[in-house]
């Protein structure tokens, strides 16, 4: 499957490429329930209803970015899906750097940042039963050619253009990110977890070695952390499952599940 080419579906304008990918997957399931080997990439010049986590709006103006979603049907347990977000973050970081000399860092689990400002956001969604993923959709939004942002985003968002002074072809960016994704995804499938990419992920991890504030976000939170207070610790890195390792002030190390909390740097956005 890894060497198979991506089927590409492009929209000039759509609500959200994640929504298109999910609809495609649902229709496919009605046609033939056996088709697991799929790799489809959905892109749009403009998204009218792009979303981040917890339903937050993702600004996706026309022609200024790479707005894309990957659709896969991996043979994985639902608990493994969060690892794909980290694979996508690595792929986006490497893909960007293959096109431009812009060094990106990863803000665990789902954002790429440059100088503390968000340049790319990733939103993974899946449909699964208790044992197995049915399909997974990985939305990747890269701010490419924006020359500025609405006032409320100016402090936290940036674009490749603002960082490098160069305009980027979203299609080239897409091809590079897909090639990197194939590479890291193959490594992930070989190991069954993130042990093969953990070191390179940590090299890019903006939070590593820094004091971070853990903010329980409410949605998707585990029973253990439900209703828990905000707390502070030092980020040590990730484990092979992609969970964030945080050393508490009493010296104990806690693991944070993807999607469970928001991690904010004590200073600034990262």
Residues binding ligand ADP (CB under 6 A)? 52-54, 56-59, 110-111, 118, 121, 143, 153, 156-157, 262
What's the min distance (Å) between Cβ of 237 and ligand ADP?
19
Residue 158 structure tokens: 């940036």
Q: Which residue is closest to ligand ADP by CB?
A: 52
Rounded to whole angstroms, the Cα distance separating 96 from 99 reads 5
Identify the burial level of 267 via C-beta atoms within 10 angstroms of its C-beta, where 0-12 means exposed, 13-18 middle and 19 or more buried. exposed
Contact 205, 108 (CB under 8 A): yes
Minimum CB separation from ligand ADP for residue 212, in Å? 13
Of the pair 110, 168, the CB lying nearest ligand ADP is at: 110
- For the CB of residue 171, give the shortest distance to ligand ADP in the complex, in Å: 19
* Cα end-to-end span (Å), the chain: 36
Nearer to ligand ADP, 113 or 182 (CB): 113
The 3-state secondary structure of 207-269, one letter per residue: CCCCEEEEEECCCCCCHHHCCCCCEEEEEEEECCCCCEEEEECCCCEEEECCCCEEEEECCCC
In terms of CB distance, is 39 or 53 closer to ligand ADP?
A: 53
Three-state SS at 57:
strand
Q: How far is the CB of 214 from ligand ADP (least distance, A)?
A: 13
Closest approach of ligand ADP to the CB of residue 147, in Å: 13
Instruction: State which residue, 111 or 243, has the beta carbon closest to ligand ADP.
Output: 111
Cβ atoms of 73 and 38 within 8 Å: the answer is yes
Residue 73 structure tokens: 């049907």
From the CB of 16, what's the least distance to ligand ADP, in Å?
Answer: 12
Q: Looking only at Cα atoms, what is the longest distance across the chain?
A: 55
> Is residue 145 within 8 Å of residue 161, measured between CB atoms?
yes
Q: Which is nearer to ligand ADP, 10 or 156 (CB)?
A: 156
Q: Which is nearer to ligand ADP, 143 or 207 (CB)?
A: 143
> With respect to ligand ADP, which residue has the nearer C-beta, 157 or 182?
157
Q: Least distance (Å) from ligand ADP to the CB of residue 124?
A: 10
């Amino acid at each position: 499957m890894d060497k198979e080419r991506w089927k590409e579906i492009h929209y000039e304008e759509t609500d959200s490429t994640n929504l298109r990918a999910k609809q495609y997957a649902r229709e496919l399931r009605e046609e033939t329930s056996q088709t697991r080997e799929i790799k489809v990439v959905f892109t749009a010049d403009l998204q009218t209803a792009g979303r981040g986590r917890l339903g937050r709006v993702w600004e996706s103006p026309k022609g200024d970015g790479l707005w894309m979603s990957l659709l896969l049907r991996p043979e994985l347990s639902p608990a493994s899906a969060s690892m794909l977000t980290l694979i996508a973050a690595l792929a986006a970081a490497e893909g960007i750097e293959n096109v431009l000399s812009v060094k990106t860092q990863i803000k665990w689990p789902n954002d790429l940042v440059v100088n503390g400002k968000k340049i790319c956001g990733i939103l993974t969604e899946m449909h699964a039963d208790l044992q197995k993923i049915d399909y997974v959709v990985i939305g990747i939004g890269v701010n490419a050619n924006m020359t500025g942002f609405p006032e409320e985003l100016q402090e936290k968002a940036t674009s490749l253009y603002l960082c490098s002074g160069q305009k980027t072809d979203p299609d080239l960016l897409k091809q590079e990110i897909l090639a990197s994704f194939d590479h890291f995804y193959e490594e992930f499938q070989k190991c069954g977890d993130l042990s093969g990419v953990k070191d390179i992920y940590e090299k890019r991890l903006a939070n590593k070695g820094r004091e971070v504030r853990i903010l329980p976000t409410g949605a998707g939170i585990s029973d253990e952390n439900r209703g828990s207070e905000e707390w502070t610790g030092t980020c040590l890195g990730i484990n092979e499952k992609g969970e964030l390792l945080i050393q508490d002030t009493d010296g104990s190390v806690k693991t944070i599940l993807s999607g469970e909390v928001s991690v904010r740097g004590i200073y600034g956005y990262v």
